[in-house]
Structure 1
Amino acid sequence: MVLINYLLMCLIFGTTFLAIKLGIDAGAPPFFSAGLRFLAAGGILLSYMVARRRASFSLLLRKEMLLTGAGLTFGVFATLYWAEQYLSSGIAAILSATAPLMILLLQTFLTRQRLSLSSVAGCLLGTVGIVLLLLPGITMSFSKLWVLGCAAVLLGQVFYSAGTVYSRRVVQRFRDESPIALNAAQMIYGGALLLILSLFTEKVDPTVIFTPHAILPLLYLIVLGSMTGHTIFYWLIAKTNPVFPSTWLYISPLIALCVGAVLYGEPISLVSVFGGITIIIGIIVINLDNLKVRVVQMRK
């Protein structure tokens, strides 16, 4: 059951990038559709947890939920949705896989600890992979918006790393609360912030939003991407350990790259594929020490 749920989670997370792309290409405003996605998903999940008496709406009164939502949802997905107007879903997914690298660099900066040899090697591999991934787009069809899109996704991972480091403290502070409820609360705040951003930057046309080409990807992202995928993620943490479910970052980006190319005809080059694989290898090398420790613990 663990393996089946893990593979399902990787497949869901790997296809969300294409779903975002489909909605945006259908004319859905990026910030509005992102905000609607997370506000709806978070609201449904938190209401369900409250109905099961496993959470309380008073959770929304805590400033920690606002700050976590600003990092993990608003900062990450405002940049990702905007960038996918100009990037393929596969490229966006691979660039999003740099999150562990960003987390490592932020933690190193905050703790002022020296990086291990494997971490340094992983960072170098990840950097080389990013260059290889972006090289075809820069040399063959240079576009300022394309470059800005790539930079936006990378900026989003900086938000993600800050939100992740902060959320670990929040989880410790709210040990009696369900992780699913905490995630739902931060999604509500992140979604609300995205809708506020949309209010000042976008013109929303309901006749476009509620067309099948725009609404179906949105529903997929709400039900499967945000509700089902994250619920499976926390279920796996409870059944295994915190590291194993996070390895979806090694698999889902390559799924996204292949799905975008096969189902949506997104352009892909061998250099980009090699760059994507190099990034994934770099992320694995960065986490090598943690993975070894978890394997030893599981054997015991």
Structure 2
Amino acid sequence: MKKETKIWVAFIAVCIIWGSTYLAIRIGVSKMPPFMFAGTRFLAAGTLMLLFAKIKGLEFPKKFIDIKNIAIVGLFLLLGGHGLVVWTEQWVASGIASILVATVPLFMAIIEFIKPNGIKLSIKGWTGLLVGFLGVVFLTLSKSSAVIDIKGTVFLLSASLLWAMGSVYQKTFEATGSTVTHIGIEMVAGGISLLILGLSIGEASRFAFSTTGLAAMLYLIFFGSIIGYSSYIYVLQNWPSSKAGTYAYINPIVAVILGALILKEPLSLRMIFSTVIILFGVILVQTSKTNQ
């Protein structure tokens, strides 16, 4: 197989696998308490990633400050961002969750704009922000109970904000060690913190493995975390980040289709139109950055 073909296979894998994780999460939290479900997933995946790195002789971070910074990223992304997504998917459809999480680039643009010496937004960028958030409003204000309530919207937008904060923070430091070890540390930090949170609110009494819940967790560990991340790293190493990041435009489409086909989640014209509006806003913001 030619290298370019391998890159495209990896990219398609990222689009499909990461788009399908919303479905797996929705199935998992219907059988297990959310934070312990997510915590077990990331602790297991992170441990496996670090073991793989050790066996392969990959470099680990050499300084405590590097480990601390990497762990902080894991707390933002996984405890904050992912934790709120998992919590919200207890009552919000997986397709809807994926649509609102697609707003992450909008929040990243805002954070990068307001931070000291931040990136200025062009008219195109501001237009993209306006369009993207209008899409959120259009989706949320639907009178149909099959869409989403205000509480779910607030939680998912908060998840997107925290994920964006972690992503921007990650750009503020350069840590020693390989990318694989960084991901492993992020997952372990996020997994432990999610488990602690779950235990602190009494999820232990409700935590029990079921066939369906275990299958969802194993899928998320091996496909969502290990194969998905590895494929994305491979794509990122061979394509510009702007091109590699276009998977984010496809994930919501995959999630909505899978949710409708497998879980019979409602699929309305309002959902489709909202998705188009939000993704169009994201594209405007992203392309405004590359054109500066």
Whether TM-score is above 0.5 comes out as yes
Residue 203 of structure 2 corresponds to which residue in structure 1?
203
Residue 132 of structure 2 corresponds to which residue in structure 1?
126
Structure 1 stretches of 4+ with a deviation exceeding 2 A read 55-62, 111-114, 140-143, 202-206, 289-293
Once residues 146 and 11 of structure 2 are traced to their aligned partners in structure 1, the CA distance between those partners, rounded to angstroms, is 38
User: For residues 1-300 of structure 1, what are the structure 2 equivalents within 5 Å?
Assistant: 1-26=6-31, 28-56=32-60, 62-110=67-115, 111=117, 114-136=120-142, 139-141=143-145, 146-170=149-173, 173-174=174-175, 176-205=176-205, 209-291=208-290
Whether the 8 Å contact between 1:59 and 1:65 is mirrored in structure 2 is no
Whether the 8 Å contact between 1:46 and 1:181 is mirrored in structure 2 is yes
TM superposition shift of 1:8: 1.1
Residue 3 of structure 2 corresponds to which residue in structure 1?
none
Once residues 16 and 119 of structure 2 are traced to their aligned partners in structure 1, the CA distance between those partners, rounded to angstroms, is 36
RMSD over aligned Cα, in angstroms?
2.1
- Three-state SS of the structure 1 residue aligned to 2:57 is coil
* 282-291 or 257-266, larger mean C-alpha shift: 282-291
TM superposition shift of 1:209: 3.1
Once residues 146 and 217 of structure 1 are traced to their aligned partners in structure 2, the CA distance between those partners, rounded to angstroms, is 26
Aligned residues: 285
* 45-54 or 97-106, larger mean C-alpha shift: 45-54
Q: Residue type of the partner of 1:126?
A: G
Once residues 59 and 93 of structure 1 are traced to their aligned partners in structure 2, the CA distance between those partners, rounded to angstroms, is 36
Per the normalisation by structure 2, the TM-score is 0.92
Whether the 8 Å contact between 1:86 and 1:146 is mirrored in structure 2 is no
Q: Residue type of the partner of 1:123?
A: L
Per the normalisation by structure 1, the TM-score is 0.89
Structure 2's unaligned 5+ residue stretches are 1-5
TM superposition shift of 1:164: 0.6
CA 1:231–1:60 in 2, change beyond 3 Å: closer, same or farther?
A: farther
Once residues 146 and 122 of structure 1 are traced to their aligned partners in structure 2, the CA distance between those partners, rounded to angstroms, is 24
